[in-house]
Each structure stands twice: as C-alpha cells, then as structure tokens.
Amino acid sequence: SFAGMSGKIGIAFGRQCLTMVRSQDERGSSVMNYKQWLAGQLAGQLEGVAEESIAELVEYPPNPQMGDLSLPCFKLSKQLRKAPQAIAEELKSKWSGNDAVARVDAVSGYFNVYLNPAKFASDVLSEVLEKGERYGSQETGQGKNIVIDYSSPNIAKTFHIGHLRSTVIGNALYNIFQFMGYNSVGINHLGDWGTQFGKLIVAYKLWGEQSKVEAEGIDELQRLYVKFHDEADAKPEMEDEARAWFVKLEQGDAEAEKLWRWFVEISLKEFHKMYDLLGVKFDSYAGESFYNDKMAAILDELKAKQLLEEDEGALLVRLDDYNMPPALMVKKDGGTLYHTRDVTAAIYRKNTYDFEKAIYVTDAGQSLHFQQWFKVIELMGYDWAKQLQHVPFGKVSLEGAKLSTRKGNVIHLEELLAKAIEKTREIIEEKNPNMENKDEVARKVGVGAIIFNDLSNNRIKDIVFSWEEALNFEGETGPYVQYTHARACSVLRKAGDGADKPDASAIDAAQLTNAEAQGVVRELYLFKERVEQAMLKLEPSIVSRYLVDLAQSFNRFYHECPILVDDPGVRSARLALVQSVRVTLKNGLRLIGLDAPEKI
Ligand code: ARG
C-alpha cells in the first residue's frame, strides 16, 4: 500500500540521519547528543547489544525526579536473558564516575542517569551562545538537493485555506531541510493550464471588462468562470466554444495567449501580495504550462516502454496489479492531464536538480493521484521513484452554519490575514498605545497567529476552521511564543550593554541548578532533536509544539527567578539563560515561518 511505501522511505531516511549525527558527535562539540553519549558509556556493559540500538532505547523521563536520561532495561531483558532490574542494578554497580553525571540509579527496571546540573547548563548554554542563529542546525544533508512542491494555487481561482496549509507546511519544511544542511529548492507548481482557460476566455469575451478585472483581480475572474458554468447549462454550445479556444491556446494563437498571459499576471500579482505578507519565497514558479513542450517526449517514452494502453481513444497506464485505477495520460481529444504533467515534471526535476528527495505538499484528497503517478515513474524503470514523497495534510472544513452565508463556502486567505492583523492592531492600541511601528508589529503577530494556528496540530489531522480559534491569541499560540521572545528581549535591554552577548565560559553555571532553570536548560537542549524529528517525520508541528514548551518553561523560570538582581554571578548566569532562550525561540520561530519582533 502507499502508506507502507511512505513508511519505508521514512525509515531509510531516518537511518541515514542517525549515522550522520553520530559521526558529528565523534568530532566532539560542547553539547553532545546525550542519548548517543550514554549509549557509548554503556555499550561495553551490555554484551552483544549494539551501541546504536542502546541509543534508540534511551528516553528522557517525563519527570526529572526519575533522572534526565533513562534506559528501560525491560526492553533488553529478553536478549540478555536477565531480569530488567538485574540489568539496571548491574549497570549501576559498574558505573564509573563521570563529571557529566551527578548520580545513577536502578529503579523498577530502569537505569536512571542524573546529569550534573551545572555542567549540563554550562554545556547547553555554551553551544547555544556559540552557535547563535545556527543553534539547532546540523550538516546531515551535506548540501544535497531537496525539491519541495508547495502552495501551487490555481490561476484565476481563489487562493483558499487549503492552499494556505500547503504554503505554510511547505515553507516550514523548506526551512527545516535547509537548517539540516540540505539545499532546499522550493517550487510553486502553479495550476496555469487546462481546459478551464478556454472557458475563462469565452466568459471574458462575452461579459468581461478589462477595468473590472484589473480592479478586482481573481475575484472577478472567478465570477466570470462561475457565470460561464451557470449559462453553459442552458447553452451547451458554449462548451464547444470553450474547447475550441483552449485548442487555439495550445496551438499558440496570439489572442488566446495574450489573454491567458494576462490572467496569469493578474493572479500572480495577488499571490505575490499574499506570499509577501506570509514571508514565503519560491525558487521556481514553473507551473503546469511549463511542461507543455516536454510531455510529447515522455509520452513517447511511455509508449516505447509499452506502458501505454489505448482505451476508447484515450491513452492510459494500467495499474490493476497495484489495486489502483489506471492513470489517464491522454484524453480522447488529445488533451493531456494532471498526471501527464506530474510525471513529466518529476523527470524534469530529477534531471535538473538531481534531488535526494522530492516532496509534494497537498491535501490528503490527492493521495491516490500521487500514489498512481509515483507507480508510473517506477514502472518506467526509474529507481528514484522511491525518492518521491507525498506529504498529505488534513482537510479544512468550515465550522457549523455560521459561515454558510459566505458565497462559495470558502475562506479567503486575504480576509483571514486582514482580520488577524486588525485584531492585533486593536490589542496593541489597548495595551501598548505608545509602541513604535505598530503596523509592522501588528502584521508580524497577526500573520504569525494564522501560520502558527495552522501548524499547531499534526498535519494529517482534519481541521474545522473557526474564526474564533484562528484569532485566539491566548494559550498555546504564535503570539504567545512571540510575546515570550519579546519578553526575553526586554529583559536583556533593561540589563544593558553586552547582556545579549554573554561570554559562556565566564558563567557560573552553579547558579542555574534550581528546578526552573534546569527546566529551561532541558528544553534548550531538546531543540536540535526536535528539529531533526520534524524533518524525519515531515512534521513542522513538532517545532511549533516545542516552542510552546520552551516558552512555558521560560515563563515559569521568569516568574520564579528574578533576573536583574544585585549578585553579579546570579545575574550574569540568569541573563545568559535568557539570551539562550531568546536565540532558540527566534531560531524555532524562523523555521516555521514566523517573525520574532523584539518589542510587542
Ligand atoms: N494546483 C493543485 C491544487 O490546487 C496543487 C498542485 C500540487 N502539485 C503537484 N505537483 N501536483 O490542488
């Protein structure tokens, strides 16, 4: 099944990363990967158990009273033919002192390790402060190309909330892969070709006005398109006319092409406005039309490889053996299809970018489509078919009847962003009327709220869209994380010169051994691992949820531990922790596509 296939890709991918992490650690950085490190310490004591499998078993206990690291020995008990507690006891008795560790214990079949809190704090802070905006990054990708196809809206059609999901998830994956040492290539596979353009041309020639289209853009184009369908019900000859115009367009007729170009231009202008607001960029806008002159060769190849079958005048690839409906490649009238373009585009991308992986971010409703044409690539004999991966996300539906009055039942992204910005503006006006650059902050926080809301659940989960929730800034939201970052900035500003450039080696880390400070250190340490997991699972929500955890641990620390105290040792240690939180929050926010304003 397709699910099984993507699972395999995930695992293969996971292995590769794991080995990279290890070789990096062997070079020795200040903060090690503690799981790997502990595995290295224990490997000699557990006969026949590979270091790597120990590392995979090590856990972070949910409660610090059970240690910072823990090995569940019952998972080794069968292999070692020993009772779990006996294994744990043995590990404890053989443990030789180590300055990274305060003590070890054997409890209920777990071998628990309590890190030396001062060294833990000093190692973590040194790494965060030294790496700065690179903190959490890795070189796993070794510069290999990852092609990410995302957003990909359709020309002359509304950019709706489903496209927002693709945009936001794709953009986050783009950043995450880049941060993991890959070279991300972002492609906007615009839906800019197809019979609908014949219809649009007919509708425009019948009812359109240039000035109105120029003023109202996609909304007006969409209206014309809808009107075409309304009228064509009664006048079927309009459909023939539309087909004829599309044929003209395909043959390069000057008038048809001029209109099409104009529709594309009008639509792109609006998409760009949205992308600018969202802070999203693409390396290529090669849309469906880009492949017009490239499909014939691919169809020839399919024919030569005896994969094409004729069926009532159409050409298709049978996929019965794989329990899938056939992939239609050429229609009766000679027209090509979505499948044809995707197969052609994939081969083009492989030749152009020699990708390590090509990722497609769309709603789960398109899963079968991807499964089908991935199989076609495989049947063509391309072993890189396994490097293609669909990254599906859940559907967005509207909440109850509240919004059913809205025509077309779609949420306009533009309206959504405008409302979020307006609401932020009101909050600022109420709470901080003297703030400088209110508009800029309102934009960053309002847009951030929408992006974060989209990334706060596992991507596959269906979303019931609610205005209330999307515009809720309390609790586990983007504004909460952004606000926490601004709070850290504000403390550092108040502290004065140099507080944002602490010298990690001069910190008295013994001042950071209390529970609240350690809670923050633990979260800071976890960042790297979370980013890696987000990449392996293609799941940006791992980073958003992480940011909430870090923000919460920081706010607990902030409430319990006064920072700007007289004692210079305490003060500088706490400030270094604040600066580390600021750096990490900012890095994480940037990865998922949010700005981190310094004042809110
Ligand atoms: N334009 C399509 C849509 O709006 C998404 C395209 C996704 N990318 C692809 N290569 N098929 O549903």
The ipTM assigned to this model is 0.99
What is 145-393's CATH number, 3.40.50.300, 3.40.50.620, 3.60.10.10, 3.40.50.2300?
3.40.50.620
Residues with CB under 6 A from ligand 1: 149, 152-154, 189, 191, 342, 360, 362
pLDDT for the residue numbered 5 = 33
Where b means 16+ CB within 10 Å and e means fewer, 523-559 reads bbbbbbbbbbbbbbbbbbbbbbbbbbebbbbbbebbe
Tell which one of 338, 362, 393 to mutate to probe ligand 1, the residue whose CB is within 8 A of the most ligand atoms: 362
Smallest CA-to-CA distance from 55 within 18, 89, 86, 29 is with 18
Ligand 1 center to 362 CA (angstroms)? 7
Q: How far apart are CA 270 and CA 427, in angstroms?
A: 28
Ligand 1 center to 166 CA (angstroms)? 9
Query: Do the beta carbons of residue 344 and residue 294 sit within 8 Å?
Result: yes
Q: How remote is the C-alpha of 124 from its chain's centroid?
A: 26
Residue whose CA lies nearest to ligand 1 atom number 6:
152
359 burial level (CB within 10 Å; 0-12, 13-18, 19+): buried
DSSP helix/strand/coil, 94? helix
How far is CA 307 from each of CA 36, 241, 367, rounded to the nearest angstrom?
Answer: 48, 34, 22
Ligand 1 center to 190 CA (angstroms)? 7
**Residues 6 or more apart from 204 whose CB is under 8 A from it?**
213, 221, 224, 259
Query: Do the beta carbons of residue 454 and residue 278 sit within 8 Å?
Result: no
Indicate which atom in ligand 1 lies nearest the CA of residue 366: 12
Residue whose CA lies nearest to ligand 1 atom number 4:
153
Residue whose CA lies nearest to ligand 1 atom number 7:
152
Query: Do the beta carbons of residue 585 and residue 519 sit within 8 Å?
Result: no
- Report, as residue numbers or ranges, the catalytic residues: 157, 160, 163
pLDDT for the residue numbered 396 = 83
Residue whose CA lies nearest to ligand 1 atom number 11:
342
Q: How far apart are CA 372 and CA 391, in angstroms?
A: 15
Ligand 1 center to 153 CA (angstroms)? 7
Architecture of the domain defined by 2-122+130-134 = 2-Layer Sandwich (3.30)
310 burial level (CB within 10 Å; 0-12, 13-18, 19+): exposed
List the domain boundaries for the chain.
2-122+130-134, 145-393
Residue whose CA lies nearest to ligand 1 atom number 5:
152
Indicate which atom in ligand 1 lies nearest the CA of residue 157: 4
pLDDT averages per 10-residue partition of the chain, 600 residues = 32 36 39 86 91 95 92 95 96 90 96 96 95 96 98 92 94 98 98 94 97 95 94 93 93 96 96 95 97 97 97 97 98 91 98 98 97 98 98 84 46 87 92 90 95 94 84 88 97 89 89 97 97 98 98 98 95 97 98 96
**Residues 6 or more apart from 521 whose CB is under 8 A from it?**
117, 120, 121, 124, 125, 512, 577
Q: Answer positive or negative: Cα dihedral of 577, 33, 119, 137.
A: negative
**Residues 6 or more apart from 32 whose CB is under 8 A from it?**
25, 123
pLDDT for the residue numbered 16 = 38
Ligand 1 center to 167 CA (angstroms)? 11
